[in-house]
Amino acid sequence: MPALRDLLLSNARLVLADRVIDNGWIAIENGVITEIGEGRPPERGENLDGDLLLPGLVELHTDQIESHYMPRPKVFWDPVAAVVSYDGQIATSGITTVLDSLRVWREEDFEEVDGQAVTLAKAIARARDADLLRVDHLLHLRCEVPTPNVVAETEELIDRPDVRLLSLMDHTPGQRQFRNEEKLRTYYRGKKGGVTDAELDALFARRLKHQAEHGVNNYRMLVSMAQARALPLASHDDTTLDHVDDAVRDHVAIAEFPTTLEAAAALHAAGIRVSMGAPNLVLGRSHSGNVATAELAQAGVLDILSSDYAPYSLLTAALRLPHVVPAISLPTAMRMVSKTPAEAVGLRDRGEIALGKRGDLIRIRVADNVAAVRSVWRGGRRVT
On the question of pLDDT at 52 being above 50, the answer is: yes
63/98 same-domain check: yes
**Together in a domain, 360 and 233:** no
**Residue 105: per-residue pLDDT:** 75
70 in the same domain as 164:
yes
List phi, psi (to 5°) of 208. -65, -40
Q: Do 246 and 299 belong together in one domain?
A: yes
Residue 91 pLDDT greater than 50, yes or no: yes
pLDDT band at 190 (very low <50, low <70, confident <90, very high): low
**Shared-domain flag, residues 145 and 63:** yes
Q: In this structure, how many other beta carbons lie within 10 angstroms of the beta carbon of residue 6?
A: 15
* pLDDT at position 290: 86
Q: How far apart are CA 156 and CA 28, in angstroms?
A: 39
Q: What distance in Å separates the CA atoms of residue 100 and residue 283, rounded to the nearest whole number? A: 23
Characterize the bridge pairing of strands 136-144 and 95-104: parallel
Whether residue 151 sits in one domain with residue 44? no
The predicted model gives 340-366 an average pLDDT of 98
> What pLDDT score was predicted for residue 282?
95
Give yes or no: residues 25 and 107 share one domain. Answer: no
**75 and 42 fall within a common domain:** no
- For 258-277, what is the mean pLDDT? 97
pLDDT at residue 383 tops 90: yes
Does residue 287 share a domain with residue 374? no
**2 CB neighbour count, 10 Å cutoff:** 6
Range of the domain at 32: 1-55+350-384
Percent of the chain with pLDDT over 70: 90
- pTM of the full structure: 0.91
Residues 63-81: tens digit of each pLDDT: 899 889 988 877 889 999 9
Asked if residues 275 and 304 have their Cβ atoms less than 8 Å apart, the reply is yes
**pLDDT tens per residue across span 207-251:** 888 888 888 999 999 999 999 999 999 999 999 999 999 999 999
pLDDT of residue 187: 66
Average pLDDT value for residue range 13-32: 97
Domain match, 323 and 370 both? no
User: Are 36 and 123 in the same domain?
Assistant: no
Query: Rounded CA gap, 6 and 267, in Å?
Result: 43
Residues 6+ apart with CB under 8 A from 327: 298
pLDDT in tens, 107-131: 655 555 566 899 999 999 999 999 9
Cite the DSSP H helix spans in 231-289.
Answer: 241-249, 261-269, 278-283
Asked whether residue 275 carries a pLDDT value surpassing 50, the answer given is: yes
Ranges 49-63, 192-206, 260-274, 347-361: which has the least confidence? 192-206
Least confident among 190-199, 241-250, 297-306: 190-199
CATH code, 47: 2.30.40.10
The H or E element containing residue 71 is none
**What total of structural domains would you count in the chain?**
2
In this structure, the number of other CB atoms found within 10 A of the CB of residue 222 comes to 24
Residues 115, 252, single domain; the answer is yes
Please report, for the domain that includes residue 242, its CATH number: 3.20.20.140
Average pLDDT over residues 332-356: 98
Asked whether residue 204 carries a pLDDT value surpassing 60, the answer given is yes
Q: Cβ of 227: how many Cβ atoms within 10 Å?
A: 13
Give the per-residue pLDDT at 209.
86
- Report DSSP state, residue 111: S
